[in-house]
Amino acid sequence: MIIQPIIDLVSLCAQKGIKNAILSPGSRCAPITLAFARHPEIKCRTVSDERTAAFIALGMAQQLEKPVALVCTSGSAAYNYAPAVAEAYFQQIPLLVITADRPAEWIDQWDGQTIRQSQIYGNHVKGSFDFPDEFSHKDKVWHAQRMVNEAINLANQYPAGPVHLNIPLREPFYPEVGEQFEFKAVKNIEIFSTESMISSTQETQLEEKLKSFQKILIIPGQQRPNAEIQESIDLLASSGKAVVVTDTISNLQSAHTISFHDHFIGHTSIQQQLQPDLIISFGKSIISKSLKLFLRNTQAAHWHIQNAGYSPDTYQSLTNFIHTAPKNFLEFLNLKLSENRAYFNRWKSLDDMVKENLSNALDKANFGEYKAISKVLKATPDHAKIHLANSMSVRYVNFLGLRNQEIICNRGTSGIDGSNSTAVGCAFTTKSPVTLITGDMAFFYDRNAFWHNYAMPNLRIVILNNHAGGIFRLIDGPAKQPELEEFFETNQALTAANLAKDFGFEYITAHDDESLEIGLNEFYNESINPKILEITTESPKNAEILKKIKEMVATSL
C-alpha cells in the first residue's frame, strides 16, 4: 500500500509549480517514482545514470528558472547526484533532490544499498530535510507537509539553489493491483517576496559617495540574458558614464561594452591608463583570469549589487554590498553619473583595435581549434542557445568577443563532468537550436548524457578533438614537465563515430578549412536526430596557433 504522504508530496510539488521530474530506476524509490509518474500535471523522464540525471535536471532548471525534481534510490545512487548538486548551489539553480533511504534502524547494519544519507550533500545545499518514516499520528502528516513546503520555498528563495529531501521507506514498495492514487489539494504555504529598493535616504548617501569617483568600471558576472539590464548598461556605456566589461557568460555583450579585454588586460604596459576608481559588480563569476588579476591589483573601491545572500570578495577590495536588484541600481546610476569620455575611450579604442586585428590574425592563421570555433560561431543561428564545456571551449569563445546567442556554461564549479547532460536538459526545454561546444575529454567523460529514450532533434554538438586535455599545454606549470603528455594531457585515441552510431546521431567530421565549411553547410539543417560535428586537430599545433594569434594581436596595442 502506498502511503498518502508520499502522494501528497507530489501533489504539493505540482501546486508549487514543479512540472518536471527526472527519475532514476530503483526499488526503494518505487513509491516516490510511481507518485510522480502518475501525477497528471508533472512531465517525467527516466535517466538511468544518476550523475547524468542530475545534470540534465540542472540544465532544465537553468532555463525554466523553476525547480526540477530528482528522484533516486538509496545508497551510492544518491552520491552520484553530488557534482550537479554542487554546481547548482554555486550557480544558484533550484533543484528538489529526493533520495529514498533505509529507515534509521538499518543504517550501519550491513544491509544492501545502505549508506549514511542524512545531510549527504553537506553545505552544498540550501537545506537538508529528513522525512518522517511513519505516519501513525496526525502530527507526522502535518510535519511531512510542512517540511515539503519549507524545502520547495527554500529552493526558490533568492538566491535560489538545491535542497535535499531524504525519505526513509519500508516495504512494501509497490501498490496492490488496481490501487488508485488520490492526488488531492494539500496545504500550500506561499511566500510573497518583495524586491529590495533603495530608499531616498540611501540614494542621497550613495549619490554623495559617487562624487568621489571619476573612472567607473562595471563588471557583470554570469547571468541569464536580461533586456532591462542590457538597456541600462548600454545607456551607461554609450553615454560614456561608465565602462562595462563583459565576459561571454554575462550574456550582456553589445556594441557598447568591452568584449575583447582578454587580449589586452594582461599587458602591464597599458594597465595604468585603465585603472578604475570604482568597481561595480553584479551577477556571479567571470571567466577571464587576466581581468580578475587586474582588478585585484587596483586600488579601487568595489561595490557589489544583489538582492540578498552572501557576497564573495572576489577582487579583494569589497567596500560596499548593496542589497537591491541590479536593474534598480543601474537605473539609479544612469540618473546620477556624469560622463567621462576620456576613460571610456581608452578602453574602447583598445577593444576596437583588438577586434579588427583578431579578425585579420584568424584569417591568416593555420587551421586549428581557434579558427574552427570562430567559423562555427559565425554559422550558429542567432536564436540558438550555446552551451560551452569548461577548459578551452569557454575560453576560445570568450577570446572571440561579442555574441548574440545566449551563452550557458557550468561555471559554478567549472568542472567538465556534466557538460553534455546540462545541454541535453536545456534541449528538453526549448525548440530553439541548442549547440554544445566541447572538448574531447569533457565529451567522452559524460557520454551517458545520451543514454535515454527521449528525442533531441534540436541538439547540435561540436567536439574539439585533439585527443588530449590541450589546456595543459597553455599553463606554464604542467607545460614544462616531462610528464605532460601522459599525466596531464591524458592522451586518448577515441573519436565520436561509434558513439554517434550507438545513439543514432548524424555524424560529420572535419580536419581542415574545406571539410569544416562543407560540414557547417548542413550542420544546422533540420533533422529528426541530433548531429555531431567532430573537429580533429593536434594539441601541440593548437597551442602554437593560439600563441601566434595572441602575439599578432598584441603588436598593435
- Is 181 a domain residue? no
pLDDT in tens, 493-543: 899 999 999 999 999 999 999 999 999 999 999 999 999 999 999 888 988
Cell 548574440 locates to 404
Q: Which of the listed residues 284, 313, 346 is the one where a domain comes to its end?
A: 346
What separation in angstroms does the CA of 280 have from each of 91, 211, 318, 324, 540?
A: 20, 15, 10, 13, 39
Residue 487 — very low, low, confident or very high, per pLDDT cuts 50/70/90? Answer: low
pLDDT in tens, 64-90: 999 999 999 998 999 999 999 999 999
39 shares its domain with 77? yes
> Is residue 130 pLDDT above 60, yes or no?
yes
- Is 357 a domain residue? no
Residue 18: give its domain's CATH number: 3.40.50.970
Q: What 8-state DSSP symbol labels residue 453?
A: S
pLDDT of amino acid 482: 72
Q: What 8-state DSSP symbol labels residue 245?
A: B
333 shares its domain with 372? no
Which domain does 538 fall in, by range?
Answer: 365-554
pLDDT in tens, 337-374: 988 999 999 999 999 999 999 999 999 999 999 999 99
Q: Which of the listed residues 151, 168, 185 is the one where a domain comes to its end?
A: 168
Question: Can you tell me the distance from the alpha carbon of 164 to that of 97, in angstroms, rounded to the nearest whole number?
Answer: 5
Mean pLDDT of 17-37: 95
428 shares its domain with 478? yes
157 shares its domain with 233? no
Residue 103 — very low, low, confident or very high, per pLDDT cuts 50/70/90? Answer: confident
Q: Which of 275, 294, 422 is nearest to 347 (CA)?
A: 275
Residue 255: give its domain's CATH number: 3.40.50.1220
pLDDT in tens, 253-267: 999 999 999 999 998
63 shares its domain with 209? no
Helices (H), 80-174: 82-91, 138-156
Residue 483 — very low, low, confident or very high, per pLDDT cuts 50/70/90? Answer: low
By residue count, the chain amounts to 557
Q: Which of 232, 248, 241 is nearest to 336 (CA)?
A: 241
> Is residue 450 pLDDT above 70, yes or no?
yes
Sequence-distant contacts of 320-324: CB under 8 A, at least 24 apart: 320/209, 322/198, 322/206, 323/196, 324/195, 324/196, 324/197, 324/198
Backbone CA torsion sign across 121, 410, 9, 125? positive
- Is 186 a domain residue? no
29 shares its domain with 150? yes
Q: What 8-state DSSP symbol labels residue 212?
A: T
- Is 354 a domain residue? no
Burial class, 487, CB count within 10 angstroms (exposed 0-12 / middle 13-18 / buried 19+): exposed
Edge to edge, what strands does the sheet with 301-306 contain?
243-244, 216-220, 278-282, 301-306, 318-323
Residue 194 — very low, low, confident or very high, per pLDDT cuts 50/70/90? Answer: confident
Edge to edge, what strands does the sheet with 506-510 contain?
406-409, 385-388, 434-439, 459-465, 531-536, 506-510
321 shares its domain with 394? no
Whether the Cβ atoms of residue 94 and residue 67 lie closer than 8 Å to each other:
yes
Question: Can you tell me the distance from the alpha carbon of 114 to that of 60, in angstroms, rounded to the nearest whole number?
Answer: 30
- CB atoms < 10 A from the CB of 172, how many? 11
**Taking all residues of the chain, what is their mean pLDDT, rounded to a whole number?**
92
Question: Can you tell me the distance from the alpha carbon of 530 to that of 500, in angstroms, rounded to the nearest whole number?
Answer: 9
Whether the Cβ atoms of residue 293 and residue 266 lie closer than 8 Å to each other:
yes
Q: Which of 289, 309, 270, 505 is nearest to 399 (CA)?
A: 289
Question: Can you tell me the distance from the alpha carbon of 419 to that of 59, in angstroms, rounded to the nearest whole number?
Answer: 9
Mean pLDDT of 463-468: 88
Lowest mean pLDDT among 81-95, 134-148, 149-163: 134-148
38 shares its domain with 80? yes
Q: Which of 463, 472, 473, 411 is nearest to 442 (CA)?
A: 463
- Helix (H/G/I), strand (E/B), else coil: 186: coil
Q: Which of the listed residues 346, 381, 413 is the one where a domain comes to its end?
A: 346
Q: Which of 531, 246, 189 is nearest to 404 (CA)?
A: 246
- Is 359 a domain residue? no
383 shares its domain with 318? no
Backbone angles phi, psi at 509, to 5 degrees: -125, 150
Question: Can you tell me the distance from the alpha carbon of 373 to that of 436, in angstroms, rounded to the nearest whole number?
Answer: 12
- Is 377 a domain residue? yes
164 shares its domain with 92? yes
393 shares its domain with 340? no
Q: Which of 2, 6, 49 is nearest to 448 (CA)?
A: 49
Cell 533533422 locates to 527
Upper half-sphere CA count for residue 368 (Cβ side, 13 Å): 22
Q: Residue 335 belongs to what H/E stretch?
A: helix 326-336
439 shares its domain with 544? yes
Q: What percent of the chain has pLDDT over 70?
A: 96
Q: How many domains does the chain have?
A: 3
Question: Can you tell me the distance from the alpha carbon of 102 to that of 115, in angstroms, rounded to the nearest whole number?
Answer: 9
> Is residue 316 pLDDT above 70, yes or no?
yes
Q: Which of 39, 124, 114 is nearest to 81 (CA)?
A: 124
Q: Residue 544 belongs to what H/E stretch?
A: helix 539-554
- Is 507 a domain residue? yes
Cell 552551451 locates to 387
Whether the Cβ atoms of residue 70 and residue 81 lie closer than 8 Å to each other:
yes
- Is 278 a domain residue? yes
Sequence-distant contacts of 359-365: CB under 8 A, at least 24 apart: 360/552, 361/548, 361/549, 361/552, 361/553, 362/549, 364/552, 365/545, 365/548, 365/549
Whether the Cβ atoms of residue 280 and residue 334 lie closer than 8 Å to each other:
no
> Is residue 137 pLDDT above 90, yes or no?
no
Backbone angles phi, psi at 444, to 5 degrees: -75, -25
> Is residue 274 pLDDT above 70, yes or no?
yes
The separation between CA 552 and the C-alpha centre of its own chain, rounded to angstroms, equals: 32
Whether the Cβ atoms of residue 413 and residue 404 lie closer than 8 Å to each other:
no
pLDDT of amino acid 281: 97
